[in-house]
Amino acid sequence: MADLETAVEERLRAMAEAEIVGRIWWADHTVWKADPTEIADRLGWLRVAGDMRGRAAELEDFAKRAADDHDQVVLLGMGGSSLAPEVQSHTVGSPRLPLTVLDTTHPATLVATEARLDLDRTLFLVASKSGTTVETRSHLAHFWDLTGGDGSRFVAVTDPGTPLDDLATERGFRALFRNPEDIGGRYSALSLFGLVPWALLGAPMEELLDGADRMAGACWREDTAENPGAQLGARLGEAALHGRDKLTLVLPDRLAPLGDWIEQLVAESTGKEGRGIVPVVGEDLGPPEVYGPDRIFVAYGEHEGLDAIEAAGHPVVRLTQEDLGGEFFRWEFATAVAGHVLGINPFDQPNVAEAKEATARILEKGFEDPGFDELPLLFTEVRPGDYIAIQAFLDLTAETREALQRVRLALRDRFSVATTVGFGPRYLHSTGQLHKGGSNTGVFIQVVDEDRPQDASIPGEPYSFGRLIDAQALGDLRSLREGGRRVARVTLDALTSEVG
């Protein structure tokens, strides 16, 4: 661990000498790559909190009027459009309008969500940067049909000029919010993609923006030793270069959803060019002996067992929680710095389209059932330094989550490797880039339904939600195999029977 600490100190000195912090703020793309593509037009997140202050009164007025006519909000979005609002919905104690995030195409989850709604009193917030996200388009088509095409129950957040922008205008949505174009989805927490849900929840707008501004001010410091974002980013980047590329997040229950947001930000930003940082979220702490030398721990608060893990030689970064806006900005800046350390562009996502294109081909040309695989054979391929990723295309129930948690911990303890759990298609917009573009250290277990008694239609499409999620699972399976990744396709019963 001494070698890592020395490397971090040297990195921070080198960053100070090269004026990296200032160059980030000056939008100098050469901090990351000589080619400005998807860098020069993706740095709006640095100043968006300040820019949004002028919209605060407008957003508050919109939210108050929306609350007069509605009792709840359902957010239809994926990835960067949904994860920050989900964090917010768990941290606001008494919301003005309770918010539900729908970011799955599993028909059972969709039907269960629908059954809990009073459609006449529900506001649908449709969020998509591109305005073309297949899951969000499908959700919109479904609920538009259910509400009889009542535009007053729909609000859109998107970039200017997208198909969703046009559709919201054409259909007379209650409101349309056009986000600044120079912000990528996973860096959009402090833009309108985060602030519109924040306003609907009834949380103080100034509180979020003040916290972000305070952290941004701290991240302006050229003295990298006093810069919280540069400190964290340099440490994460150097840890990965020293083989500690499994970023294990240790969070209190009240901050648990923040882990999913950090996971997407870090995984999609750094997992490319055969390298990357693997976020490990929600993996309960175990004894030191189950952890290999590829771990770094980042913790908020005190946790039983963490001192023993640190004493065993694993690096532990302890963060003092700032307000939510400050944490959003800290991690955004740190991830950009980690990208600099790793020598990659943290603002593109070159492998994300693979699974999308495979899904589209399957929906167009039809299915070929790949059958199921033998887990014992896959397990013979697990090596030290790997991680096991469970990819569950299943109904999002508490029982399913608990079963997968038991499985992941059993696998961690058996193989002494990091484990992750992602629900599809949600993870395709989060860790999917890392799975295909990062180092070939992932061992993937795709878990799918053996049969599905429920389905739901997608108006205007020749396929249903059940058909869509099946195509998404098969498309990702094909992409992983074509990329030479180790992967097995199983049912939940087979997985729990094999692992226990």
What does the alpha-carbon distance between residue 70 and residue 140 come to, in Å, rounded to a whole number? 18
CATH number (domain holding residue 102): 3.40.50.10490
Query: Both 197 and 91 in a single domain?
Result: yes
Domain-located, residue 118: yes
What does the alpha-carbon distance between residue 434 and residue 459 come to, in Å, rounded to a whole number? 33
Query: Both 316 and 433 in a single domain?
Result: no
Beta strands in 175-245 (DSSP E): 175-178
Total domains in the chain come to 3
pLDDT of residue 1: 66
**Length of the chain as a residue count:** 500
Please give the DSSP secondary-structure letter assigned to residue 32: T
Query: Both 359 and 336 in a single domain?
Result: no
Is 336 within 8 Å of 346 (Cβ atoms)?
A: yes
Is 159 within 8 Å of 44 (Cβ atoms)?
A: no
Query: Both 329 and 356 in a single domain?
Result: no
Please give the DSSP secondary-structure letter assigned to residue 233: H
Hey, how many other C-beta atoms are within 10 angstroms of the C-beta on 268? 29
Distances from the Cα of 395 to the Cαs of 116, 141, 216, 380, 426, in angstroms? 16, 21, 39, 29, 12
Query: Both 398 and 481 in a single domain?
Result: yes
Domain-located, residue 110: yes
User: Structure pTM?
Assistant: 0.97
Query: Both 58 and 181 in a single domain?
Result: yes
> Side by side, which strands form the sheet with 486-491?
418-423, 387-393, 442-448, 486-491
pLDDT truncated to tens, each residue of the chain (500 aa)? 679 999 999 999 999 999 999 999 999 999 999 999 999 999 999 999 999 999 999 999 999 999 999 999 999 999 999 999 999 999 888 999 999 999 999 999 999 999 999 999 999 999 999 999 999 999 999 999 999 999 999 999 999 999 999 999 999 999 999 999 999 999 999 999 999 999 999 999 999 999 999 999 999 999 998 999 999 999 999 999 999 999 999 999 888 999 999 999 999 999 999 999 999 999 999 999 999 999 999 999 989 999 999 999 999 999 998 799 999 999 999 999 999 999 999 999 999 888 889 899 999 988 888 999 999 999 999 999 999 999 999 999 999 999 999 999 999 999 999 999 999 999 999 999 999 999 999 999 999 999 888 899 999 999 999 999 999 999 999 999 999 999 999 999 999 999 97
- Those residues whose C-beta lies under 8 Å from the C-beta of residue 461, and which sit 6 or more positions away, are 138, 141
Domain-located, residue 214: no
Domain end position, chosen among 342, 361, 387: 342
Q: Dihedral through CA 187, CA 191, CA 196, CA 197, nearest 10?
A: 30
DSSP, collapsed to helix, strand or coil, labels residue 100 as: strand
Query: Both 482 and 359 in a single domain?
Result: yes
Domain-located, residue 242: yes
Domain end position, chosen among 168, 203, 238: 203
Query: Both 378 and 421 in a single domain?
Result: yes
Domain end position, chosen among 137, 172, 203: 203
How does DSSP assign 281-305, residue by residue?
-S-----GGG--TTEEEEEES--TT
Residues 197-229: pLDDT tens digits? 999 999 999 999 999 999 999 999 999 989 999
Q: What would the two tokens of residue 92 be?
A: 């606001």
Domain-located, residue 394: yes
Distances from the Cα of 57 to the Cαs of 45, 48, 63, in angstroms? 21, 16, 10
Is 128 within 8 Å of 193 (Cβ atoms)?
A: no
Domain-located, residue 56: yes
What does the alpha-carbon distance between residue 47 and residue 212 come to, in Å, rounded to a whole number? 10
Q: Estimate to the nearest angstrom the gap between the alpha carbon of 410 and the chain centroid.
A: 25
Query: Both 356 and 482 in a single domain?
Result: yes
pLDDT of residue 254: 87
Domain-located, residue 37: no
Is 453 within 8 Å of 290 (Cβ atoms)?
A: no
Domain-located, residue 215: no
Provide the sign of the torsion angle of the four alpha carbons 135, 273, 263, 129, taken in this order: negative
Query: Both 188 and 53 in a single domain?
Result: yes
Residue 111 structural domain: 46-203
pLDDT of residue 109: 96
Query: Both 71 and 178 in a single domain?
Result: yes
Query: Both 491 and 366 in a single domain?
Result: yes
